Structure 1
């Protein structure tokens, strides 16, 4: 093998063993992820505006997913699981799908508030958490080291 191939293999091995928040997995796609979050936030706001749920409910419930941070009182691992469940797009989409299937009219506006919150967080750089520390996210390190 050439030394270039050895270097590439060593770099790949290094990236697999490095700490999740120092790996640099986001790197050059950070801008793309922020554009994606802005698009989801915009779509959520436009769609929510077409519901009859009212903007007061939006304001009241917008920060509700952050209550998941209370899980950190039970430790970093449980805190990260709670936070990630509340800050993964899969959870509100599941709520919306079940609500639509079960004919629960409030499910769609709640899903849109929730997805708007997640997208807003991602625009601010807050990603899904690793159990190593609250500031270790899939988007990189947040806060002081």
Structure 2
């Protein structure tokens, strides 16, 4: 069996996204999150694509800022430090969105066109 084709960076990044997505779903349920709120907020991070209305450089910058794990993990840490369960749920939804994006093959954007990502060119 040729494992080099099974464990390509794109596959590993999708598996990583699936792991984050499933873990955040589990934690969201464990912390008693409201599923209607989850559904309503899950795709809010995609509003960052509105930056593309200005130009591709700003669009990629804003989209990537919102679609990296850095900010939602910081929010998660803050929510734990100040014991704020609502912020914790928001952080889990945000992380869940990013994990789902990676699972589906949507990656961080290059400042060329919206379809150029670090995972592949989205068809």
Provide TM-score, normalisation by structure 1: 0.76
Look up the match of 1:136.
116
Give the number of aligned pairs. 117
SS in 2 for 1:137: coil
Which 4+ stretches in 1 moved above 4 angstroms? none
In structure 2, list runs of 5 or more residues that go unmatched: 1-6
2:48 equivalent to 1:68:
yes
Q: Distance in 2 between matches of 1:137 and 1:30?
A: 11
1:1-145 map, 5 Å: 28-143=8-123
Greater gyration radius: 1
> Over residues 75-98 of structure 1, what are the superposed CA-to-partner deviations in whole Å (9 max), with x where a residue is unaligned?
111100110011101110011112
In structure 1, list runs of 5 or more residues that go unmatched: 1-26
Alpha-carbon RMSD: 1.4
Provide TM-score, normalisation by structure 2: 0.89
Q: Distance in 1 between matches of 2:38 and 2:60?
A: 25
